[in-house]
Amino acid sequence: MELDNSSLDYFIRNFTEIPNTTTTPPWSEATLLGLQVSLSALLAIVTLATVLSNAFVIATIFLTRKLHTPANFLIGSLAVTDLLVSILVMPISIVYTVSKTWSLGQIVCDIWLSSDITFCTASILHLCVIALDRYWAITHALEYSKRRTMRRAGIMVGVVWVISISISMPPLFWRQAKAHEELTECMVNTDQISYTLYSTFGAFYVPTVLLIILYGRIYVAARSRIFKTPSSSGKRFTTAQLIQTSAGSSLCSLNSSSHHEAHLHSGNAGGVGGGGGGSPLFMNSVKVKLADNVLERKRLCAARERKATKTLGIILGAFIVCWLPFFVGTLVMAICKECWFDPVLFDIFTWLGYLNSLINPVIYTVFNDEFKQAFQKLIKFRRCS
């Protein structure tokens, strides 16, 4: 059955026309402006906190002579790198994240992207050299203590920057071909799958595997040293008790490591007390005190090992939590062309990675007693002056 003109008009009017109602956007302009201001303030606070925390770590190391060691040189270099992230990368990222459009031109885009990749990669690789330095210091303590110099630390930092720059440079060559076009967004072109694989594996996946392996070995080595401490200290303490109980009979049962102490005890007993009972009792008390000092020193050493290992573990955990989402998202976008990521979600992943530059100095100042004490002295000195 065919429809006449009146019936057709009725059908179109009632079933195909959009109702005459005013549709309001999900967010009003005032609400959007408020959200932008709030987001800008939040990101600015994070950026400022990152600047201050890393600047304080650098100042603390520079002004405290006790902290002028190769290990702390690496930590200071990490703080310098994170400071560069907070000064040269994060402020521009605030503008780009809030405005959702790039308005600073091609040259600034190239400089910003290169700085972003270089400094963030260098920050990640610094964690690797710090873990490597710690691993050598624990597993090859005597040999590495001779080679652990400022020059060696400087070479390690130099290697970090060479690798970081080599990862950030390639995009500059193919981005220049589009320099004449007007930019509305500034991001690395993930269409270059070979570069995406090269950069993500070089900047994150390989360093992460290296960090996990190093941390695992550091953890095992530190625990073995901690568990060895009571047994070796116990021998000295037991020997002292035996001497105190019966000095004459126990001297011949001392092990080779305590033979020098036994000889000293015997000589003093003959010289001062003429072999009588008074002098051996005095020497017994001294010997027990020496053993207690050794035990206490080893306990403190073990406690430091635990704390250093715990600190490194927290740094590793924070690093993975902060950077894993970003690099997984980057890799998925390059491999899966049909996959879609919400830009807001990717902004969150990016800033989560930047947050690692704030977490690093906070962890070192909170969990490192030497840094904490030096930091407190620096604050008190500034207040007094």
244-260 residue pLDDT tens: 443 343 333 334 444 44
pLDDT digits (tens, 9 = 90+) for 28-65: 787 878 888 999 999 999 999 999 999 999 998 998 88
Q: How many CB atoms lie within 10 A of CB 259?
A: 11
Rg (CA), the chain: 32
What SS3 state is found at 176?
Answer: helix
Show the DSSP H helices in the chain as ranges. 5-15, 29-63, 70-84, 90-99, 105-139, 141-147, 150-168, 171-175, 193-200, 206-245, 247-250, 259-272, 278-335, 343-367, 369-384
CATH of the domain at 90: 1.20.1070.10
Label residue 225 by pLDDT band (50, 70, 90). Answer: low
Residue 370's pLDDT is what? 77
Query: Using an 8 Å Cβ cutoff, are 137 and 155 in contact?
Result: no
> Could you tell me if residue 113 is inside a domain?
yes
For 11-25, what is the mean pLDDT? 45
> Could you tell me if residue 72 is inside a domain?
yes
For 140-148, what is the mean pLDDT? 84
Six token digits for residue 218 = 């550091």
Residue 385's pLDDT is what? 59
Q: What are phi and psi of 102, to 5 degrees?
A: -100, 125
Amino acid residing at 50 = T
Which among 29, 183, 40 is positioned nearest to 99, based on CA atoms?
40
Query: Exposed (0-12), middle (13-18) or buried (19+): which is 299, by Cβ within 10 Å?
Result: middle
Percentage, residues of the chain above pLDDT 70: 67
> Could you tell me if residue 249 is inside a domain?
no
Label residue 348 by pLDDT band (50, 70, 90). Answer: very high
Least confident of 74-83, 197-206, 291-300: 291-300
- Cβ neighbours of residue 316 closer than 8 Å, sequence gap 6 or more: 127, 131, 211, 212, 215
> Could you tell me if residue 285 is inside a domain?
no
Least confident of 125-129, 154-158, 232-236: 232-236
| Pairwise CA distance, residues 210 & 317, whole Å | 14
Residue 208's pLDDT is what? 95
What SS3 state is found at 308?
Answer: helix
Residue 71 pLDDT exceeds 80: yes
Query: Using an 8 Å Cβ cutoff, are 74 and 126 in contact?
Result: yes
Show the DSSP H helices in 85-188 as ranges. 90-99, 105-139, 141-147, 150-168, 171-175
Residue 356's pLDDT is what? 95
Residue 126's pLDDT is what? 95
> Could you tell me if residue 288 is inside a domain?
no
pLDDT digits (tens, 9 = 90+) for 306-344: 676 677 778 889 999 999 999 999 898 888 878 777 888
> Could you tell me if residue 258 is inside a domain?
no
Entry pTM? 0.74
Label residue 85 by pLDDT band (50, 70, 90). Answer: very high
Which among 239, 222, 367 is positioned nearest to 309, based on CA atoms?
222
Residue 374 pLDDT exceeds 50: yes
| Pairwise CA distance, residues 349 & 327, whole Å | 9
Average pLDDT, the chain: 76
Residue 229 pLDDT exceeds 70: no
For 83-110, what is the mean pLDDT? 92
pLDDT digits (tens, 9 = 90+) for 100-118: 888 888 889 989 999 999 9
Domain extent for 199: 37-221+303-384
Residue 153's pLDDT is what? 93
Residue 116's pLDDT is what? 95
> Could you tell me if residue 23 is inside a domain?
no
Residue 384 pLDDT exceeds 50: yes
Number of domains in the chain: 1
> Could you tell me if residue 3 is inside a domain?
no
Percentage, residues of the chain above pLDDT 90: 35
Residue 355 pLDDT exceeds 80: yes
